[in-house]
Amino acid sequence: MKTKADVKAKAEVKAKAELKAKPEVKAKPELKAKPEVIAKTVARPKSKARVVDSPFKNFIPYEPKRGEAYMDSKQLDHFRDILLKWRQELMEEVDRTVHHMQDEAANFPDPADRATQEEEFSIELRTRDRERRLIKKIDQTVERIDKEDYGYCDTCGVEIGLRRLEARPTATQCVDCKTLDEIKERQLHG
Ligand SMILES: [Zn+2]
């Protein structure tokens, strides 16, 4: 049963969490001003990733308190937040691609120019398709967070871990099971 004090304590924790979240909010307008920079960051190859190997950098790595239960409500909120921000970035990216294609669409008299543009567009369409699939996966993940069915390996049930989930918030398997599956996959098709 929840007492009044519990509710109050929870509210305070939430308020503190919100305070902590402020720096990232401040950083956002700066990012928004340079859409091409974001695009490059998203496309950055793994080798150049610094602190966290993650497609998005605008979050503070979660530091659990001593004795804090894995995937308690604060941790779930943290990952929901990351996923929703990532989703927003992807949506903006899709919009940019569409607008870019609309702006660039031109009838080049030279067949070579036309071919180049068609090639460019088909690459952009594939990127958009990939982004849409990713958005769908993010939505499914957020649904699982809402059902508090998040953060454990679908195959073996072990905790996936905060750091791995911050790098791959849509991960449904621990590193070991994922690696094993990839090896099996290669053997099957290799
Ligand atoms: Zn596993």
Residue 94 has pLDDT above 70, yes or no: yes
Determine the pLDDT at residue 47.
Answer: 38
Q: How far does residue 59's CA lie from ligand 1's centre (Å)? A: 26
Q: How far does residue 158's CA lie from ligand 1's centre (Å)? A: 6
Q: How far does residue 181's CA lie from ligand 1's centre (Å)? A: 10
Report whether 162 contacts 149 (CB < 8 A).
no
Mean pLDDT on 117-123: 88
Q: How far does residue 149's CA lie from ligand 1's centre (Å)? A: 15
Enumerate the β-bridge partners of residue 159: 152
Residues whose CB falls within 8 Å of the CB of residue 158, separated by 6 or more in sequence, listed in order: 152, 174, 176
Residue 97 has pLDDT above 60, yes or no: yes
Q: How far does residue 65's CA lie from ligand 1's centre (Å)? A: 25
Integer distance in angstroms from the first to the last C-alpha of the chain? 56
Q: How far does residue 161's CA lie from ligand 1's centre (Å)? A: 11
Determine the pLDDT at residue 58.
Answer: 65
Closest CA to 117 of 42, 35, 109: 109
Determine the pLDDT at residue 8.
Answer: 54
pLDDT grade for 27, boundaries at 50, 70 and 90: very low
Q: How far does residue 70's CA lie from ligand 1's centre (Å)? A: 16
Determine the pLDDT at residue 4.
Answer: 56
Q: How far apart are CA 72 and CA 62, in angstroms?
A: 12
- Percent of residues, the chain, with pLDDT higher than 90: 49
The one-letter code for the residue type at 1 is M
Q: How far does residue 178's CA lie from ligand 1's centre (Å)? A: 7
Residue 17 has pLDDT above 70, yes or no: no
Between the CA of residue 99 and those of 95, 115, 124, 128, what are the distances in Å? Answer: 6, 20, 11, 12
User: What are the tokens at 44?
Assistant: 């950055």
Q: How far does residue 162's CA lie from ligand 1's centre (Å)? A: 14
Determine the pLDDT at residue 74.
Answer: 95
Least confident span in 10-19, 43-52, 140-149: 43-52
Mean pLDDT on 62-90: 95
Enumerate the β-bridge partners of residue 94: none
Q: How far does residue 173's CA lie from ligand 1's centre (Å)? A: 5
